[in-house]
Amino acid sequence: MSDPSPFHPGEQQMQTLAGVRARMDARGARAIRDEMPDQHRAFFADLSFLPLAMNDARGWPAATILRGAPGFVTTPDAGRMHLAVPAAAFAPPGAVARLGASVGILGIMLAVRRRNRMNGIIRRLDSDGVSVAVVQSFGNCDQYISRRAPPAGAAPDDAAPVETLAALDGPARDWVGRADTMFVASAAGPHAEAGVDISHRGGPAGFLRLDGDRLAVPDYRGNLYFNTLGNFLLNPRAAVLVPDFSTGAVLHLAGPVVLRQDSGGFPGAERHWELRVEAAWRRAGALPGGWAMAEA
């Protein structure tokens, strides 16, 4: 009997559409683990911010950025990650951290263009923070990451309260129009236990296209796992988090998704997807401000 596929039906369907399905189970079995290799454990321990996704109370994907001094993320063993963040501050706005809930975690180090993923399940909530059991651990390549140097001596502090936007205002539109980085949260279903993922998307400044309440996002060739797009086939909802590295603020947009199997006019894209913005919020101080672009 062959080993079960590491990919769920939505991911498998996307791989079939892309013509790569036949080779992906063997490739995924080598790269997608149920525990973190030592290299990943050391990598996470060096991070000072961490994009994270959960399903919110409505059953929609939501995203946030957790902050702390390097060492706020620890791995007691290869199958567990502990985040020294109070449970009340752990979940994205509108979501609640509870035992058994699925989370998607992205470790990204902009200065060296490295990223690793860990999707898991909350197993412990206490005064020391939140512990997550590993379900899937895997690395990503450095494609499309804009290299940035972190601000010197940036100390963690509390982010400002969430500012809910009834509609996207001029500053939010300008923000999206100049972005070269975003994070996208997706889930395989609407319930809290459904597998959740958060992924990095990047491109040249202005690679996102906003027309009215519709955000168009190019999909460039990647690792062919199709974690995000496979989730869209099962549960066409998303949240995107667009950071402003100059100020440290983040913009969160959420709504239903339509996946298009064409480039949408984006140079170099293999396909694209569109998010109709139904909810938006903005938060200052989610990241330290003053990041500087670094040489490639």
1 lies in some domain:
no
Residue 4 is assigned to a structural domain of this protein? no
Tell me what pLDDT residue 187 has: 97
Kindly state whether residue 29 falls inside one of the protein's structural domains.
Answer: yes
Count: domains in the chain: 1
Looking at residue 159, what is its pLDDT?
72
For residue 139, tell me if it sits in a domain. Answer: yes
Amino acid 94 reads: G
CATH code for the domain of 184: 2.30.110.10
Give the structural domain span for 59.
9-293
Q: What confidence tens digit (pLDDT) does each residue in 194-251 have? A: 899 999 999 999 999 999 999 999 999 999 999 999 999 999 999 999 999 999 999 9
**Domain annotation covers residue 158:** yes
Label residue 74 by pLDDT band (50, 70, 90).
very high
Is 176 within the bounds of a domain? yes
* 2 in any annotated domain: no
d(CA 175, CA 171): 6
Supply the pTM of this predicted model: 0.95
d(CA 74, CA 79): 11
Q: Give the model confidence (pLDDT) of 152-174 as tens digits.
A: 766 556 678 899 999 999 999 99
Render pLDDT for 108-138 as a digit per residue (tens, 0 to 9): 999 999 999 999 999 999 888 999 999 999 9
**Does 3 map to a domain?**
no
The arithmetic mean of pLDDT across residues 169-191, rounded, is 95
